[in-house]
Amino acid sequence: MSGSFRARRPASPPPGAGFPPSTGAPLATTRFPHPREDHLDADARRELASKGLSPGKLKSNIPSGGFNITSGEVKLLIGLVLLAAAVRLYRISRPNSVVFDEVHFGKFASRYIKTQYFVDVHPPLAKLLITLAAFLFGYDGHFDFKDIGKIYEGVPYVAMRMVPALLGVATVPLAYLTLRALDCRATTSLVAALFITFENGLITQSRHILLDSPLIFFTALSMFSWVGFCNEDKHRPFTDSWWTWLVLSGLSLGAVVSCKWVGLFTIATVGFSTIYQLWVLITDIRIPPKLFFRHFAARALCLIVIPLIFYMTMFQIHFMILGSSGEGDGFMSSEFQHTLGGRGMEDTYADVALGSEVSIRHLNTQGGYLHSHPSVYPSGSKQQQITLYPHRDHNNDWRIVNATHIDPPVISESPNGLRYITPGMRIKLFHISTEKMLHSHDIRPPVSEVDFQNEVSAYGAPGFQGDANDDWILEIDEAASRDRRDREAVKRLRTLRTKFRLRHALTGCYLFSHKVKLPEWGFEQQEVTCNKNAVRANSLWFVETAMHPDLPADAPKVNYRLPGFFAKFLELQQVMWTTNAGLTDRHLFDSRPDAWPRLRRGINFWVKDHRQIYLIGNPMVWWLSTLSVVAYVAVRGLLILREKRGFKDFNNTTIVKYDNLCGFLFMGWALHYGPFWLMGRQLFLHHYFPALYFAILLSCGVFDFVTSSLRPKVRLQIAAILCILAIWNFSKFSPLAYGTPWTKKSCEAAKWGKHWDFSCNDFLDDLSQYNTGPAPPTVSKAIVQTTISDPHRGNIVVEDKAAAQRQQKQKNEDDNTSIFIPKVEPGRDIFAEAPVKDIRSQDVPQPPKLPKEDEDKLISSAYIPSPDVDQQGINKGKVGEEIVGEGKYIGNTAKDDKSQNNAEREASEQSRTQTATPLSVEEDTAGMDPVVPPPEAKEHGPLGEADAAADKVAKELYPEEAD
C-alpha cells in the first residue's frame, strides 16, 4: 500500500494572488532553488486555464489595464473618431426647431440659467452639461421650448446639441477598447465600433438635446474602466494602476447614475461582477482573512462610497444653482420651499385665537394654500370657487370667526383676554378679500362628481352673517401634531405645529384636497372638496401664518425650520421616485419591452416641411444583436447539458474564455433590459439603448468566437461584409435620422415592418421638388366637368368648380399626415402639470349683485330684507325652498332646478354671465391671479364677445331697460 501512495505537496499560491514578493526577485524554494521568472506550477496553470488564458500569454510587462494596443490601432482609433464625428455632426443644425423631448430638457436649461427651481424625474448631471454649453455660448434662458417645431430664436441650440453628439462620438472608441481589453481581436473590435457608429437609433438620439447619449457614454465608460480594473486585478492587486482603474470605475458609476436612474442597472452589473470576485477570494483557502478584508474594503470604498458622493455632489450643484422660486415649488414641502429665494417667511405668531387672520396650507399634496377668488363654478351651485393655490397671495387670507352659541370654555382664555382655538370648537372661516364664508352643501363638485364628495364654495355677502352650512368643527390630529418643540400643539391650535381637520357641522364631511386639477375655468388650480370618506393624509391642514391685532409685539413667534442638504436631498429623491412610478399614462408612441429587441416600433420625433425625424434603429445591427443574445442562451444551455452528461467542455481554455466574455456581456444586457418588464410606467424604445450597447458587444463577442478557428483573411472578409450591410442599412434609413428629403416611393420601400408607423405621406414624390421649397405634393390638374341642359343649345359641358373644390379638399385630406400618423408630442413631464403661471390676485370691483327675484335661484343665496318688503312675503317661497332662521337667509334645495321655468333659467344664466365672465388663458401674462373684471368694461377678444352675448340676452329679456 505504501509503495503505491504518493503524498501531494501543498498548493502554492499563484503569482499576484495577494502575496506579492517583498522584492522584485522571484522567491526561491527548496524544490526550485533557481526558479525562472516565467515558471508556472500546476495550480497556476489550472488557474490561467479557468480564466481562458494559456501559459504562453503570461508576460512580466503587462500594460496598464491589459490594453496591448499597437501604434496601428491608435491610428485606427483616430480614424474611427473622425468617422463617428462626421456621421453624428452632419447637419446637426437641422432642423432649426424644437424636436421631441427638447421641449423638456431645453426648458430645464432655461430654468438653470434663470436659477428658477424645477423638478424632474432624472438626476441633474446630463442637464447640467447641456446647460453649461448653453451658458458658455451666451444663452440667457429667454426661450420657452414650448412646442415641437417651434423655431429657435436666440438659442445656441447647436452648442447644446453638441454635448450629446460629442459624447455619442466618444462612445465609439470606448466600445473598441472594451472589447480589446476583453481579449477580442482587433477585427472584432472594429466591427463593434462600426456597428455603433452606424446605428441609426443611437445617431438620432445623440443629435438632439436629450439625455440618453450621455447615459450610454457613461455606461460605456463604466464598462471600459471596470474591465481595465479586472485585468489589473488578475495581474497584481493594490498597485497604483490597480487603484487608478478602481477609482475611475467608481467615478464612472457615479456619473452614469447621475444622468438617469437607469444607471442603477450599470451599478448592478458591476456589483454582481464584484460579488463573484469576492466569492472566489473568500473560498480560496490560500487567501488570509486580512487580505480578503482589504479587497472588500477597497471595492466598497471605490464602488459604493465614491459613486454616492459623486451623485450627491451633482444634487448639491443642482441646489446651489436653483436658488430662486420656480415652477417646481409646489412639489416640495413647505420647509423646502422656504429655502428658495423669494419664498422666505418672516416670523409669525405662534398663538391662534378667535379673530386671528390666518393662511391655511394643505399638508399632504403640497398643493398650496386654501384659496378663493371672485370667479364662480360653471355648474353645481355656481358659487365662488375654493381652490388650492401654490403662491402667496392676499386671497389666501381667512379670519377665524366663532360659530358656537355659547362662549368657548374658560380654559381656552389667555392672560390677555384672547380665546384660543381648542379641539371641538365650532368656527367659521371668513374670506377677507371677498367677504364670503367657507361653505359646503349637498351638491356634487364640478370635477369629482361622486356621491361621497360635496362641493366647497365661498358663500355670502357684505354684512351677511352666514348660515349653518358655513360652520366647521376643528379636530386636532394628535399623532401628526406631536412636537417636542411645542407641547401645546396637541392641546390647542398653534401655527405650523398643529395639524388639524375641519369637519362640516351639518354633513359630517371633511375639508379635503387631492392631486386633481380644475380645468381652465378654475385656472388649473387644485380642487378642494368636502369628502365623507376622506383619506386622513389628504384632509390634514395647518396654519402657516397668523396675525391678531390684540397680540403684543413680544408674543411668541415661530417659523419654519429650514432643512439642510441631506434633508432636501432625501425629499427630492422621494418626489422623483413617487412621480416616476406614477408616469402610467399612455403616449402615442410608447412601447413595451417585448417589442424592443424585435425593433417593432419607433418614435416620431419631428414632422415639418415634408421632412420627418423618426427614431428607428439599424435593422441589421439590431436584429443581429438580438440573435446573438438568443444564440448565447442556447449554446450556454447546451454546454450545461453536456457537462451533466460527462463532457469536459469547460476544460477547454477557448470555451472558458468566451463563456466568461459573453457571460459578462449577457449579464449586462439582461440587467439593463429585464427590470423594465417589472415597470408599469410609460416606456419608449430609447429605454432599450443601454441594453442594446451590451447586445452589440455580445454579437461581436459571438463573432470572435465563431471566427476564432478561421484564417485572418477570411475573418476580415466576413467582418467587411457585416460592416457593409450595416452601412447600407444606415444609408437606407438615414433620412429619418437627419430629417433630409426623401421620396414616398423610397419610404414605402423601407417599411420592412408593418408596425413601423413613420408617415410616408409626408414626403414628396420626387427629390427635385425639394429644391423649390416646401411645395405641396403633386395633385391632378384634370378639369372636373359637368353637363347642363339648355333649351336652345342642348347639353353643354362646362367646368364644375364646386366639384373641383370638393375634390381638392378631399385630396388635401388624403394627403394629411394625421391620417397615417398621430401628432408628434414629447414624452410626458408630470411636473409640467404644476401651475407655471405665477398668478396673483388683485383687487377688483365686486361683481354686481343679483336681482332679488333671481337670488332665490342660487343655492343658499343671501337675502337682505328691505323696509318696503312685506315680511310675510318672505315666507311665501316657492316649493322646495328651505327657510332657515327669522328671514335672515333663504336656502334652496337641489329640487328647485326642476321647478324653475325657462324664463327664470335664462335670467339666472344672464346673472351668472354678468357675475363671472370667463377669462381667457392668454390674458394671464402679468403674473396675476385671474379675476373677473366689472361688466361695464368692454374689451376686445373672447372677453368682449362674452359681454356682447350677455348684453344681447339682456336686451331680449328686458327691452324696456335696454332703452
Tell me how far apart the alpha carbons of residues 820 and 516 are, in angstroms, rounded to a whole number: 34
- The third-level CATH classification (topology) of the domain covering 346-559 is Trefoil (Acidic Fibroblast Growth Factor, subunit A) (2.80.10)
Residue 533: predicted pLDDT: 84
What are the grid coordinates assigned to 923, written together?
A: 390674458
Q: What is the DSSP string of 719-750?
A: HHHHHHHHHHHHHHHHHHHHT---BHHHHHHT
Residue 838: predicted pLDDT: 39
Judge whether 513 and 360 are in contact, CB under 8 Å: no
Strand (E) positions, 257-344? none
CA distances from 680 to 134, 580, 586 (A): 35, 10, 11
Low-confidence ranges of the chain (pLDDT < 70): 1-63, 65-66, 367, 405-417, 772-963
Tell me how far apart the alpha carbons of residues 308 and 709 are, in angstroms, rounded to a whole number: 45
| pLDDT tens figures, 341-350 | 877 788 888 8
Which residues have a Cβ under 8 Å from the Cβ of 609 and sit 6 or more positions away? 774
Residue 556: predicted pLDDT: 87
Stated pTM of the model: 0.73
Residue 28: predicted pLDDT: 46
Judge whether 54 and 274 are in contact, CB under 8 Å: no
Which ranges in the chain are annotated with CATH 2.80.10.50?
346-559
| pLDDT tens figures, 643-653 | 999 898 888 89
Residue 40: predicted pLDDT: 58
Judge whether 340 and 118 are in contact, CB under 8 Å: no
What are the grid coordinates assigned to 117, written together?
A: 427651481
Residue 443: predicted pLDDT: 87
Cell 332662521 locates to 885
Residue 482: predicted pLDDT: 80
Spell 33-56 as b/e; 16+ CB within 10 A means b: eeeeeeeeeeebeebbbeebbeee
Which residues have a Cβ under 8 Å from the Cβ of 3 and sit 6 or more positions away? none
Residue 812: predicted pLDDT: 53
Which residues have a Cβ under 8 Å from the Cβ of 924 and sit 6 or more positions away? 523, 837, 839, 930
Residue 552: predicted pLDDT: 83
Residue 553: predicted pLDDT: 81
| pLDDT tens figures, 776-820 | 444 434 444 444 444 443 444 445 555 556 655 555 544 443 333
| pLDDT tens figures, 874-899 | 333 333 333 333 333 333 333 344 34
